[in-house]
Chain A
């Protein structure tokens, strides 16, 4: 592209200016008060009569948590418990609130002695933040209070996004006690999404579908559960931009565009699944006849066209109009009929 170099230079310049700005703005990292949603803040601050006791006392003293600790250690959060990880410190009480009341009266010796006798030593977990029963917005705030200050840009459209609006918090998708980096693997994303979006799962059972249940296409290829520019929480800014990630031959722009129909691939295709081939919303020729007048069905002499000619016109429109997504070559008529 003739403008490619221009774009590169522009982007290089913007990046350099940004980084230079950042170099002079490191003091902006200072802790600043946020605008709290006061009632939610009360919910997630924990018991005001409790003190922080540290992870060592929360976990290691209680063998009930041994297995949990193993999972936790393997996660990013767990890794942050270790100074040598080099990461910002996060500990149990960052999310669960101060724990002194929970372990009040418990000593390591008591826990170990009980364990020897086969007795579990329960802590008073009810004095911790009741994470499971918090409103979804409060649950998300527990995560966001850290992730708002570390440039987590996949959350850019979170607050006005579909999941946040519909009170879906971070918890149903991210299990911070399991797996490294808290990322949902692409393979696991289908099962995770379908736990709520069950009808979408059923649509993939239709005879024409993307290979999602085969494990070769993933929900996150098309959708960003954190929200985005476009409807349906798409990963890209429009339906077309999402589809052309894998179907780049349809990107265009073309000399002869199919009006602005192709800006929204959903006009003709059902991406989750369809009873019709090629994920079409309807079978040809009805698909096309919905918007277009069909070819003439009588002859110049006045009689009906032959059955063979009718079949030629009305079996598959795309037999002849084979560049229906856009064309760069004029048809025999000299205009863009998508036949050439």
Chain B
């Protein structure tokens, strides 16, 4: 969207604001003289307490030294250069005004600011600005090709890739005096600027030319929401208008010389590829709810969303509806009903034109998937006593896809039934336990990731054996099962219902927090996560006659991801004016896929392409010394060591030290 359209939005909001302010009684905005409590409460003998807000806060100035080695994976979110650092924390409440600022500046690309201003309850303004530098991996091709049918080209083999991300979230809320009517505007601006690795294929299946090159990005996105809400007696109503646009700011289309493809009858030419399209969207929403405090509470939302891709002309319209209903007939019982409806209508152009330097080619386009989705959920809560609470939820989801004739792998309808039973209990005074079980049944699952059924168990317990000791344990087990997978064979183009898939997810967390003394606390934790899948995989197959056939099946291929993370945190107030904070985290990750070495009698091994073995050690240490009531010095060191034990490609480490001097005011 062109920036020239913004004044329209501004005018719209200004119109709302003007109308809102028109309702303000004359003089409402004037300063009122300080009143005595006598006037307010009829207590003639008392004066209202004096207003004595002082501005409080601190600011600091420091310097950050940085050194790094090898890959920047260890410094993934760190700007890899030394820099001056600044900070400000401020709270000021000279009523009727209130201000706050929390700001941290580590470099031009790494900062955080949260600033707010309020005037009485009439104006509420807040702005949250965040910048972060993200170092990206550069996946070098490590191998020579097999000319002429396999070519690897890295056009920028020595470039470092990164993105500087900026997000600014602004919100302004204005209230009419003495009446709960608000107008509001929220704006989120997002920028991504930097250099990323663009990988793409020149050629086709038979003549593979893989290319990697640097791509400059300068992407902007703006999302603006404005609206009004008010209390209308029995109900409250809100209307909001949203619009969002994404502008890739040029460099949105790459062009390269593609070779001629005999198989697909495409002439060689320079064609566009990896287009990042400009998009925009607009939405209206109306919300309405009854009193939150009633035994019966109802809330409803209706909204529409229109999205458009300005490159291809693809559009979509989405209608959404929501209804919440809660009924608490008794403190022991609560009933909650939720309904969600989503109607997505995707309008895909029937054909597209590929315009090369010389050739212009027209292709038909398969209609995208439109769908309706309805979700009904009924939950209940039963609290027979102070020690136990029981929860039960049943949810039914119905998905109805349209235009799926051309999408052989997708069923027209999918239904999901979910039952969840949970109990919270306090069997002992110092022990709290939660146990939950969830069963899901999917009829006609669309994707192989979706099981026929799943079972999930969750157990947590909190135990305080001593006043200074807290133990937390959590275990989650999830099992999924799918009996018939869907694979779409390319030639002949048939949908195969073959193979099985079983999944198991384990997650365990043990955490121990102790207040060692009034001046020291220590927290240690162990986190374990494991994801196991065993699935039949399908690979395409040629017949000796040069025609396609039904696929090879690699039976019960085991895939595993595993992580162990240990952390220790210490806070120690060495002296009233000297504190120490230390954190250590050590994470080990492993992953393996045991593809069969022989499939259908053919030698075929993929194991070495997707193994994972890495460890990361992160340590931080902070010392803060109070020199006087006003002054403090801080030293914060941080080290991250990443060890890519499988391929050594991402090995690296980063070390930073920040020395700062802070003044309190």
Are chains A and B native binding partners rather than an unrelated pairing?
Answer: yes
Q: Are A86 and B447 in contact (CB under 8 A)?
A: no
Most A CB within 10 A of own CB, among B41, B227, B280: B41
Q: Which of A94-102, A116-124, A279-287 contacts B (4 or more CB under 8 A)?
A: A279-287
Once the chains are docked, how many angstroms separate the CA of A274 from the CA of B587? 12
Q: Are A202 and B239 in contact (CB under 8 A)?
A: no
Q: Does A172 contact B (CB under 8 A)?
A: no
Q: Are B561 and A165 in contact (CB under 8 A)?
A: no
- Type the 1/0 row for B455-493, where 1 means its CB is closer than 8 Å to any CB of A: 000000000000000001010100000000001111000
Q: Please, which residue of chain B has its CB at the minimum distance from the CB of A251?
A: B279
Residues of B within 8 A of A185 (CB): 102, 114
Q: Does A28 contact B (CB under 8 A)?
A: yes
Q: Are B279 and A137 in contact (CB under 8 A)?
A: no
Q: Does B198 contact A (CB under 8 A)?
A: yes
Q: Please, which residue of chain B has its CB at the minimum distance from the CB of A266?
A: B449
Interface size class of A (residues with CB under 8 A): 35 or more
Within the complex, the shortest CB–CB distance from A24 to chain B, in Å, comes to: 11
Q: Which of B59-67, B142-150, B571-579 contacts A (4 or more CB under 8 A)?
A: B142-150
Known A-B contacts A150-B231, A160-B325; the reply to A252 vs B539 at CB < 8 A is no
Residues of A within 8 A of B241 (CB): 7-8, 11, 15
Q: Are A12 and B12 in contact (CB under 8 A)?
A: yes
Q: Please, which residue of chain A has its CB at the minimum distance from the CB of B111?
A: A216
Q: Are A137 and B201 in contact (CB under 8 A)?
A: no
Residues of A within 8 A of B86 (CB): none
- Type the 1/0 row for A296-316, where 1 means its CB is closer than 8 Å to any CB of B: 111111111110111110111
- Type the 1/0 row for A197-230, where 1 means its CB is closer than 8 Å to any CB of B: 0110011011100010011110000000000011
Residues of B within 8 A of A284 (CB): 610
Q: Does A291 contact B (CB under 8 A)?
A: yes
Residues of A within 8 A of B371 (CB): 260
Q: Does A49 contact B (CB under 8 A)?
A: no
Q: Does B415 contact A (CB under 8 A)?
A: no
Q: Are A332 and B642 in contact (CB under 8 A)?
A: no
Q: Does B229 contact A (CB under 8 A)?
A: yes
Q: Does A1 contact B (CB under 8 A)?
A: yes
Once the chains are docked, how many angstroms separate the CA of A180 from the CA of B610? 51
Once the chains are docked, how many angstroms separate the CA of A163 from the CA of B300? 19
Known A-B contacts A237-B320, A253-B314; the reply to A199 vs B507 at CB < 8 A is yes
Known A-B contacts A83-B32, A153-B229, A328-B275; the reply to A199 vs B509 at CB < 8 A is yes
Tell me whether chain B's interface is mostly helix, strand or loop, or mixed. strand
Q: Does B636 contact A (CB under 8 A)?
A: no
Once the chains are docked, how many angstroms separate the CA of A179 from the CA of B91? 8
Residues of B within 8 A of A157 (CB): 299, 322, 324
Once the chains are docked, how many angstroms separate the CA of A271 from the CA of B260? 41
Once the chains are docked, how many angstroms separate the CA of A60 from the CA of B43? 15
- Type the 1/0 row for A223-264, where 1 means its CB is closer than 8 Å to any CB of B: 000000110000001100000011011011111110111010
Within the complex, the shortest CB–CB distance from A293 to chain B, in Å, comes to: 4
Within the complex, the shortest CB–CB distance from A232 to chain B, in Å, comes to: 13
Q: Are B609 and A160 in contact (CB under 8 A)?
A: no
Within the complex, the shortest CB–CB distance from B130 to chain A, in Å, comes to: 6
Once the chains are docked, how many angstroms separate the CA of A161 from the CA of B9? 32
Once the chains are docked, how many angstroms separate the CA of A254 from the CA of B231? 41
Q: Are A37 and B369 in contact (CB under 8 A)?
A: no
Q: Please, which residue of chain A has its CB at the minimum distance from the CB of B373?
A: A263
Q: Are B312 and A328 in contact (CB under 8 A)?
A: yes
Q: Does B567 contact A (CB under 8 A)?
A: yes
- Type the 1/0 row for A309-340, where 1 means its CB is closer than 8 Å to any CB of B: 11110111011111100011111111110011
Q: Please, which residue of chain A has its CB at the minimum distance from the CB of B313?
A: A255
Number of B interface residues at 8 Å Cβ cutoff, please give it.
235
Q: Does B297 contact A (CB under 8 A)?
A: yes
Once the chains are docked, how many angstroms separate the CA of A198 from the CA of B472? 9
Most B CB within 10 A of own CB, among A10, A145, A259, A301: A259
Q: Does A267 contact B (CB under 8 A)?
A: yes
Residues of B within 8 A of A25 (CB): 232-233
Q: Does A115 contact B (CB under 8 A)?
A: no
Q: Are B369 and A259 in contact (CB under 8 A)?
A: yes
Which single member of A22, A159, A214, A319 contacts B230 (CB below 8 Å)? A22
Instruction: List B residues 196-253 near A (Cβ within 8 Å).
Output: 198-201, 203-205, 208, 210, 219, 221, 223, 226-234, 236-239, 241, 243-244, 246, 248
Residues of A within 8 A of B593 (CB): 283, 286
Q: Does B664 contact A (CB under 8 A)?
A: no
Q: Are B139 and A257 in contact (CB under 8 A)?
A: no
- Type the 1/0 row for A78-99, where 1 means its CB is closer than 8 Å to any CB of B: 0111111111110000000000
Q: Does B514 contact A (CB under 8 A)?
A: no
- Type the 1/0 row for B279-295, where 1 means its CB is closer than 8 Å to any CB of A: 11110101101011111
Q: Are A86 and B118 in contact (CB under 8 A)?
A: no
Once the chains are docked, how many angstroms separate the CA of A322 from the CA of B139? 14
Residues of A within 8 A of B546 (CB): 300
Q: Please, which residue of chain A has its CB at the minimum distance from the CB of B201?
A: A320
Q: Are A206 and B563 in contact (CB under 8 A)?
A: yes
Q: Are A34 and B294 in contact (CB under 8 A)?
A: yes
Within the complex, the shortest CB–CB distance from A248 to chain B, in Å, comes to: 4
Within the complex, the shortest CB–CB distance from A162 to chain B, in Å, comes to: 10
Within the complex, the shortest CB–CB distance from A72 to chain B, in Å, comes to: 11
Known A-B contacts A73-B53, A261-B447, A308-B143; the reply to A82 vs B120 at CB < 8 A is no
Once the chains are docked, how many angstroms separate the CA of A60 from the CA of B37? 13
Q: Please, which residue of chain B has its CB at the minimum distance from the CB of A179?
A: B91
Q: Are A322 and B487 in contact (CB under 8 A)?
A: no
Q: Does B301 contact A (CB under 8 A)?
A: yes
Residues of A within 8 A of B158 (CB): none
Q: Are A297 and B488 in contact (CB under 8 A)?
A: no
Residues of B within 8 A of A261 (CB): 447
Q: Does B303 contact A (CB under 8 A)?
A: yes
Residues of B within 8 A of A299 (CB): 542
Residues of A within 8 A of B149 (CB): 309
Q: Does B555 contact A (CB under 8 A)?
A: no
Known A4-B243, A328-B275, A332-B204; further 12 A-B contacts with Cβ < 8 A: A38-B295, A135-B331, A149-B231, A151-B229, A216-B77, A237-B305, A253-B314, A253-B315, A283-B591, A290-B533, A296-B539, A298-B600
27 example contacts (A-B, Cβ-Cβ < 8 A) are as follows A1-B310, A7-B306, A19-B23, A22-B230, A28-B232, A32-B233, A83-B39, A84-B35, A159-B336, A160-B326, A198-B525, A202-B527, A202-B567, A216-B110, A216-B165, A229-B301, A253-B346, A253-B368, A282-B531, A286-B557, A301-B544, A308-B145, A308-B146, A318-B199, A319-B210, A320-B210, A332-B261
Give me the 7 closest cross-chain CB pairs, A-B, nearest first. Answer: A35-B294, A28-B233, A202-B527, A11-B241, A86-B120, A248-B221, A320-B201
